[in-house]
Amino acid sequence: MAKLRVVILWHQHQPFYKDLVTGQYRLPWTRLHALKDYYGMVKLLDEFPEVHQTFNLVPSLVNQIQDYASGNAQDPFLQVASKPASDLSQQERKFALQYLFQANLVNVIGRYPRYKELLEKFQSAGDSPERAEKNFSTQDLTDLQVLSQIGWFDEFFLAEKEVAELIRKGRNFSLEDQSFVIEQQRTYLSRVLPVHADAARRGLIEISTSPFYHPILPLICDSQQGAVSTPGLPLPQNRYRHPEDAREQLKRGLDLHEKVFGVRPRGVWPSEGSVSEETISVAHDLGVQWMATDEGVLGRSLGTNFSRDGSGRLSAGLAHQLYTTYRYEKEGAVMNLLFRDHTLSDLIGFVYSGMPPQDAANNLIHKIRDSAQPLIAEGRDAVVPIILDGENAWEYYPQSGREFLRRFYDALQRSPDMEAVTVTEAIERHKPTSSLPSLVPGSWIHANFNVWIGAPEDNKAWDYLYHARTFYEQAAPGATENQRKLAYEELLIAEGSDWNWWYGPEHHSANDRDFDELYRKHLSNVYQALGGVPPDYLAQPIAGGGSRPSYTPQTAYIHPRIAGDMVRYFEWMGAARYTADARSGAMHGKQFLIDEVFAGIDEEFVYGRLDFASGIPEGPFEIVVNVESMTPRVGDPETKLRLGASVIDKQITAWQVAEDNNLLLDASSRAVLDRNFEFRLPISLLRNRPKVTSEPHSDFRENGADRIRIRFSLWQQRLPVDALPSEGWVELELVAEEDLQAISG
């Protein structure tokens, strides 16, 4: 029987948040993801011993986890969460309110009723720490401190007796509770690396590495590679060319893993899947046996494009090219290469979180089989590489995606035609059957380096790095060994890819300013370590202003004509409005099909509008609008309606409104698609029959006003490929028009 070998590689990475001069960690994400994701992702495999996987741990991440586990690491978020609420200064109280709600609104905050209650209290003050601070009692802040930490605990940690008891307690936490949660973090963090080492010893996983501080190796070797992968790309004023740094970054990564885990890694996931022939040569010289990158790099190297048909399938010829292992040989450099299936990897990262776990697992198993079918039908083995971020996706899944993974792993383990193998196992069993005489430089994002170089902000960052590196070369000979060591370490940190991830137009986070300041601090430390004065320009932000997702609540009743043929701006004035965030944060690859959504009510109807990002999508799809009625005193929705519209050839072929699969017929309901999608539903369809009174009542919140919440999604091939809001809902208060202004204000 032909074997379908599934190679799953989880890439675990966080930027290096530590300032080596002060010893302070600027941001908490290494600690929080180590608490929530890294341990359980490996521990889960105890339940599935036949499901072998590869875990790629970035060395600077390992270094930071060790620092936290030792108790030496401190970050301002941890310090504020640890301090008794009664001892917090006014500035610390504001800091707590501004930053301790930085978590997924539905799956982290929404999981804990008290945490959600505190968020709503904060939001009622206009998301303003200054205004909210006056309304938060000491007990409120203590509860926030405790729950903001528990919210990031791994599912295995949440099941432990004392933590489970705290969760049942739910609120009114004591100082003893707060101290326990903080102290327990160090215990949990100390388990992360040993669980990886133990699983590797038992053959459940393979541990691979990356260059130490996660640099884009091809650009460190030569920044001109940016224009090789994208001809005509604007480049920095100064050419950055330091292959010796690339070698040092990779050698340090290999050395650290050997020291921590007892075995020298055989393989490397290069930062962001970034490869070039020069970097392969460097890796070969250091004894690396395999590397992996994206199908886009393979396509460009072969002069083809791995395009799928309307059902998401590759042609037989393309499947034969992708689902195998390759051997690269050129000028003495030899490397085994795997190329990730971009589509399957992105389904886990961005789509399956919107589906029931069993449905998602079934779909993924089907997709894997379907993808490799052309090879299996010929009796040939297939290697299907699924490679993705192993941490950030799980915030978007209930219970950190564990139930989805359990069902997926169970199906893999029970499928006689499939075997889940490590990368090394895949190479040993499959044997590289295809040769690759040359390799086009590129990354896993569009097979180029445009995220990290080419935009004005990116190029400025590279020029600043060039000047700091030049200063180091000039000043280092006259410095002490400790000065040189510190300055060089800061340079290696500044070479990391994470800083330029946030510069330029592609990505943003709530911590953009922190990343910008931390990057410039690392460069400043180079000058200071060598007795120099940092240039004045390092005191100025590199990052400029950029677009952000925006939400505006409803401020007035609306009465739009439901035609879909044109955007009638004035008819939708006053509607709630939610704009997509197309700068996709820590994860890249999400498909943005929806640009904006609008929703609003009048005395009789609820209205909605969906604007597409780049016109109506090609091919068949379905628009789904979930409309639910809520009462603040009731935890669950009272009524759940689903409006579904099937679209073929950019026209609605059928649409319906249903409640629990029971069709609701109403002559006044309407759904249309032309340039955009619009709908209208009578409020009376909602079972609790909320009434919109014409009399204003300023105490509507105290009286428990009803509200409606709405979410738009777009489905292709029965998969949810985009939604707005991506988290939570657009909420509409069912109050008199006069009260809407008071709510929004």
| Tens digit of each residue's pLDDT (9 = 90 or more) over 399-412 | 999 999 999 999 99
Q: How many CB atoms lie within 10 A of CB 233?
A: 17
Mean pLDDT is lowest, of 307-311, 486-490, 507-511, 532-536, for 507-511
Q: Calculate the average pLDDT of the chain.
A: 90
Q: What is the pLDDT of residue 141?
A: 98
Mean pLDDT of 543-560: 73
More confident residue, 566 or 712: 712
Q: Are 30 and 408 in contact (CB under 8 A)?
A: no
Mean pLDDT is lowest, of 216-225, 537-546, 725-734, for 537-546
Residue 714, beta-bridge partner list: 623, 722
Q: What is the pLDDT of residue 545?
A: 55
Cα 128 from Cα 735, distance rounded (Å): 24
State yes or no: pLDDT of 396 exceeds 50: yes
Look at residue 733 and give its three-state secondary structure. Answer: strand
Mean pLDDT of 30-48: 97
Q: What is the pLDDT of residue 458?
A: 95
Mean pLDDT of 217-225: 98
Q: What is the DSSP string of 583-599?
A: S-TT-------EEEEEE
Mean pLDDT is lowest, of 123-127, 175-179, 364-368, 452-456, for 123-127
Backbone conformation region of residue 488, classed left if phi is above 0, alpha if psi is from -120 to 50, else beta = alpha
State yes or no: pLDDT of 471 exceeds 70: yes
Mean pLDDT is lowest, of 9-23, 387-401, 577-591, 619-633, for 577-591
The one-letter amino acid at 192: V
| Banded pLDDT at 39 (limits 50, 70, 90) | very high
Q: What is the pLDDT of residue 721?
A: 79
Mean pLDDT is lowest, of 106-110, 226-230, 435-439, 631-635, for 631-635
Q: What is the pLDDT of residue 554?
A: 87
| Banded pLDDT at 744 (limits 50, 70, 90) | low
Enter the DSSP assignment of 600: E
Which candidate, 197, 174, 179, places its Cα nearest to that of 65? 197
| Tens digit of each residue's pLDDT (9 = 90 or more) over 572-584 | 878 888 887 655 5
| Banded pLDDT at 413 (limits 50, 70, 90) | very high
Look at residue 407 and give its three-state secondary structure. Answer: helix
State yes or no: pLDDT of 319 exceeds 60: yes
Q: What is the pLDDT of residue 548?
A: 46
State yes or no: pLDDT of 82 exceeds 70: yes
| Tens digit of each residue's pLDDT (9 = 90 or more) over 177-206 | 999 999 999 999 999 999 999 999 999 999
Could you give all domains of the chain from N- to C-terminal order, each with its CATH number?
4-17+193-227+236-436 (3.20.110.20), 71-189 (no CATH), 456-539 (1.20.1430.10), 550-744 (2.60.40)
φ, ψ for residue 510, nearest 5 deg: -70, -10
Mean pLDDT of 606-615: 91
Q: What is the pLDDT of residue 584?
A: 54
Backbone conformation region of residue 209, classed left if phi is above 0, alpha if psi is from -120 to 50, else beta = beta
φ, ψ for residue 741, nearest 5 deg: -65, -40
| Banded pLDDT at 342 (limits 50, 70, 90) | very high
State yes or no: pLDDT of 700 exceeds 60: no
Q: What percent of the chain has pLDDT over 70?
A: 93
Mean pLDDT is lowest, of 53-67, 229-243, 466-480, 549-563, for 549-563
Which candidate, 271, 290, 217, 289, places its Cα nearest to that of 248? 217
